[in-house]
Amino acid sequence: MKDLINQLVFVAAPILAYQAWLKPQPAESMSFLQRVLLFVLGAGSMVLCLLFPVHLASGYRVDLRLVPMTLGFLYGGRLNGSLLFLLYVGIRLLTGETGPLTASLLIYLFLLVPCYLFAPRFQAATRAGRFRFTLGLVLLALPIRIAVLTVFQPDLLYSQPLLMLGLFPFFQACGMCLSVYLVEMTREKQQLQLEHALALRNRAVGQMAAAVAHEIRNPLTVVKGFLRLLERQRELPEDKQLEYLVLMQTEVDRADQIIRDYLSLAKPDPGPLEPLRLVEEVTAVLDELAAYAVNHGATLSFENDLADEVVSGNRERVQQLFGNLLQNAIEAMPDGGKVYITATREKQMAVIRIHDEGVGMTQEELERLGTAFYSTKEKGTGLGLMVSYQIVEAMNGKLKVHSVKHQGTTFTLALPLASPA
């Protein structure tokens, strides 16, 4: 009995291990490493089965080696299954195990050939289809066993009919069904989790869409109001007209910004990754914001210790990130001031600090940072930091804030370096 449970554990443990480490996916889309891992687990399971068989009172030994082999074909694909089978044949030839090789090989071939043939279709089948196939295989095993034994080992068949026709096949069938059940159940659970996460995200994006629609209405209403004014009062002085136009432009820009921020939130896929020289990106954004800084009476100072350190990211997004942080720093100083930007290397990270002498934030304000539409600015969108956090997260980086009310704020951004391209 103990041996029996051992055998079941040998078969089940690799299944659990595999499902715990790796996401369920069809064999064709696995990476090389995943394939190797799958094979090693299957082989380990098979070897353990062979090493610690169930000793029966009659002196015979039985084990569940066939289960990892079959599963290897069905879930791991043809190559994986064939390799497992070859490994088994190799082990048998090496150890010179007792019992006629041809007989067991024949049994295995009869069972494994359908597995080989159906492996790709098995992967694509529905869950019910996979259960049906397993059941068919298990039922097929008995007549095949009887047929092969009648031809090759009639003495064994007659001396041990209960063992050969009842107990052992039953044991094997149980092991097989249990294993498939285990694989399918863990798969289903993982699938449900995935779907759940997706549903949550979709809901968040949906709520956000409603909020965005609401936020965009304000600038639109303002623009509409000015348009009406311009339409009604044809004789407005030119400077007044210009003033209205400028105001309308700011509102349209705001709506545009909200939509752009929202789109990058709703689509977390950063697009193609490329090696980016961090200094170049920072400098580009600084150049872009130079005029904006002057208008706000802010000076930007950049102290760079980086050479040609490279991070992996999407150019547009990385610039959006720096742009958000720098713009916030400039906007935090309504009476002007200085923004200190430093770039250094700390171990495998590039660290960019953006320090301003602006209004700073209280603990409460800090806690609300990065939540959607939290803005203390009249024309703010309250999406900039949320997008920034997301970009940083996608790059496996970190973004930390330190702030003292009325004194200033420091954003510290750490991005993992990529090996230079």
Q: Around 272, how many Cα atoms within 13 Å sit in the side-chain half-sphere?
A: 2
Contact stretch for ligand ADP (CB under 6 A) within 58-66, 163-171, 304-312, 382-390 = 382-390
User: What are the counts of helices (DSSP H) followed by strands (DSSP E) for the chain?
Assistant: 13, 9
55 binds ligand ADP (CB under 6 A): no
CA dihedral for 9, 10, 16, 17, sign (positive or negative)? positive
Minimal distance, residue 384 CB to Mg ion, in Å: 3
Cα–Cα dist 416/397, whole Å: 6
Under rule CB under 6 A, residue 34 binds ligand ADP: no
Member of 68, 313, 323, 384 binding ligand ADP (CB under 6 A): 384
Choose the stretch contacting ligand ADP; rule: CB under 6 A; options: 48-56, 70-78, 168-176, 326-334. Answer: 326-334
Tell which one of 104, 160, 328, 403 touches Mg ion (CB under 5 A): 328
Minimal distance, residue 292 CB to Mg ion, in Å: 12
d(CA 249, CA 241): 12
Q: Which is nearer to ligand ADP, 185 or 263 (CB)?
A: 263
Nearest to 61 by CA among 4, 134, 114: 4
Tell me how many residues contact ligand ADP (CB under 6 A): 22
Residue 76 binds: one of Mg ion, ligand ADP, none (C-beta under 5 to 8 A by kind): none
Query: DSSP H helical segments within 332-383, as ranges?
Result: 363-368
Residue 77 interacts with which of Mg ion, ligand ADP, none, CB < 5 to 8 Å by class? none
Sign of torsion, CA 386 391 394 399?
negative
376-415 residues in contact with Mg ion (CB under 5 A) are 384
Nearer to Mg ion, 264 or 328 (CB): 328
Judged by DSSP in three states, 120 sits in helix
Minimum separation from the CB atom of position 327 to Mg ion (A): 5
Which of 12, 369, 394, 417 is close enough to bind ligand ADP by CB under 6 A?
369
Beta partners for 404?
Answer: 408
Which residue in 112, 169, 122 sits closest to 146, CA to CA?
169
Q: Which residues have C-beta within 8 Å of that of residue 259, sequence separation ≥ 6?
A: 212, 216
Verify binding: residue 374, ligand ADP, rule CB under 6 A: yes
Using CA atoms, how far apart are residues 347 and 180, in angstroms rounded to an integer? Answer: 47
Contacts of 96 (CB under 8 A, 6+ apart): none
Q: From CA 265, how far away is CA 259, in angstroms rounded?
A: 10
Residue 400 binding ligand ADP, by CB under 6 A: no
Please state at what angle helix 127-152 crosses helix 66-95, rounded to 10 degrees: 40
For position 219 contacting ligand ADP by CB under 6 A, the verdict is no
Query: CB-wise, 131 or 373, nearer to Mg ion?
Result: 373
- Cα dihedral 15, 21, 24, 25 sign: negative
Kindly report the length of the chain. Answer: 421
DSSP 165: I
State yes or no: residue 362 binds ligand ADP (CB under 6 A).
Answer: no
Token digits of residue 178: 């249990």
For the bound state, the minimum distance from the C-beta of residue 354 to ligand ADP, rounded and expressed in Å, comes to 8
- What is the pattern of x (binds ligand ADP, CB under 6 A) and - over residues 105-124? --------------------
Q: Which does 230 bind (CB under 5 to 8 A by kind): ligand ADP, Mg ion, none?
A: none
Instruction: Supply the minimum distance, in Å, between the C-beta of residue 319 and ligand ADP.
Output: 15
**Which residue in 361, 392, 395, 414 binds ligand ADP (CB under 6 A)?**
361
Task: Determine if 324 is a binding residue for ligand ADP (CB under 6 A).
Answer: yes
Q: Which residues form the interface with ligand ADP (CB under 6 A)?
A: 324, 328-329, 332, 356, 358-361, 369, 374-377, 380-386, 409
Residues of the shown chain interacting with Mg ion in the complex, contacts defined by CB under 5 A: 328, 384
